[in-house]
């Protein structure tokens, strides 16, 4: 087999600080902000003309799971975590080569003395993700109206109503002021997709779930009637 060596061109700075809780596809949480910080070797010339595109393709490395190897058959969450399909019929992180591909919104390009920073929205990438390549999204070529989506032919259903305790409301307000974005909306969009593993879905115990988001720990529980209660955002 041929082998290739690649060098990252930059790194992601994201609100997602760990794997758990990251949306399973890009643009499901459009309020998720991120930055792609290019290495110093790539100056302004390398992105000249990119500002004319609203979206970009990003090739990246699944750096948090690459040491776990790959599997020929995987259980996609969209099939309930029970049915298996071939790894190449999925977007599983456990691939022969730990490479991912996401299309995200390009909000702007910031030029600093030592680096070029792309500001992104709708990102599904963990903080620290190494980036291998950037390509512009071309609507006439990349959007195919009659394409088939197999077992994932439509967006996942939003089945959960997200409620906030008074403490969580206050925590969200403080975080929004501190971080300069609508944190309550970000939390709602993430949790209404139910980030739990498939084998845990369907049982609403009083277990407290937690994920690292931005600069805080988000804590919530699942209640009856498809409700999620956000307990607090712990700095």
* Fold observed for domain 161-234: YaeB-like fold (3.30.2310)
Residue 7 has pLDDT above 70, yes or no: yes
pLDDT at 204 over 70: no
The CATH 3.30.2310.20 portion of the chain extends over 161-234
DSSP one-letter string for 140-156: HHH--TT---GGG-SPP
Neighbours of 233 (CB within 10 A): 26
Distance CA 16, CA 23 (A): 10
Is the pLDDT at 39 greater than 80? The verdict is yes
CA distance 219 to 25: 22
Q: Which residue has the higher pLDDT, 235 or 49?
A: 49
Residue 205 pLDDT greater than 80, yes or no: no
Threshold 0.75, pTM exceeds: yes
Q: What's the whole-number mean pLDDT along residues 80-103?
A: 89
State mean pLDDT over 13-34: 92
Range(s) of the chain covered by CATH 2.40.30.70: 10-151
Predicted confidence at residue 115, as pLDDT, reads 87
* CATH homologous superfamily of 10-151: YaeB-like (2.40.30.70)
Going by pLDDT thresholds of 50, 70 and 90, the confidence category of residue 203 is low
Long-range Cβ contact pairs of 79-87 (< 8 A, separation 24 or more): 79/151, 80/198, 81/197, 81/198, 81/199, 81/201, 82/198, 85/151
* 211-233 average pLDDT score: 94
Collapsing DSSP to helix, strand or coil, 54 comes out as coil
- For the stretch 155-174, pLDDT in tens is 887 878 999 999 999 999 99
89 pLDDT above the threshold of 80: yes
Q: What is the pLDDT of residue 202?
A: 65
Residue 207, C-beta contacts closer than 8 angstroms, at least 6 positions apart: 221, 222
Is pLDDT above 80 for 124? yes
User: What percent of the chain has pLDDT above 90?
Assistant: 66
**Which residue, among 235, 230, 187, 211, has the nearest Cα to 32 in the 3D structure?**
187
């Amino acid at each position: 087999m041929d082998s290739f060596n690649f060098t990252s061109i930059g790194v992601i700075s994201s609100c997602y600080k760990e794997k758990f809780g990251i949306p399973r596809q890009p643009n499901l949480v459009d309020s998720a902000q991120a930055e792609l910080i290019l290495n110093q070797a790539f100056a302004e010339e390398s992105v000249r003309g990119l500002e004319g595109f609203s979206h970009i393709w990003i090739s990246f490395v699944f750096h948090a799971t690459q040491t776990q190897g790959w599997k020929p058959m995987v259980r996609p969450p969209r099939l309930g975590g029970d049915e298996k399909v071939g790894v190449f019929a999925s977007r599983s992180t456990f691939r022969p080569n730990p490479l991912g591909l996401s299309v995200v919104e390009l909000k702007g390009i910031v030029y600093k003395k030592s680096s070029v920073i792309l500001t992104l929205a709708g990102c599904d990438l963990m903080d620290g993700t190494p980036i291998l390549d950037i390509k512009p999204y071309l609507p006439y070529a990349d959007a195919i109206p009659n394409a088939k989506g197999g077992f994932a032919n439509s967006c996942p259903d939003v089945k959960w109503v997200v409620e906030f305790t008074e403490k969580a409301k206050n925590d969200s307000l403080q975080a929004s002021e501190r971080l300069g974005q609508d944190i309550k909306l970000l939390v709602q969009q993430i949790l209404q997709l139910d980030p739990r593993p498939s084998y845990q879905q369907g049982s609403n115990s009083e277990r407290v779930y937690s994920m690292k988001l931005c600069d805080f720990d988000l804590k919530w529980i699942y209640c009856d009637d498809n409700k999620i209660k956000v307990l607090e955002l712990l700095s």
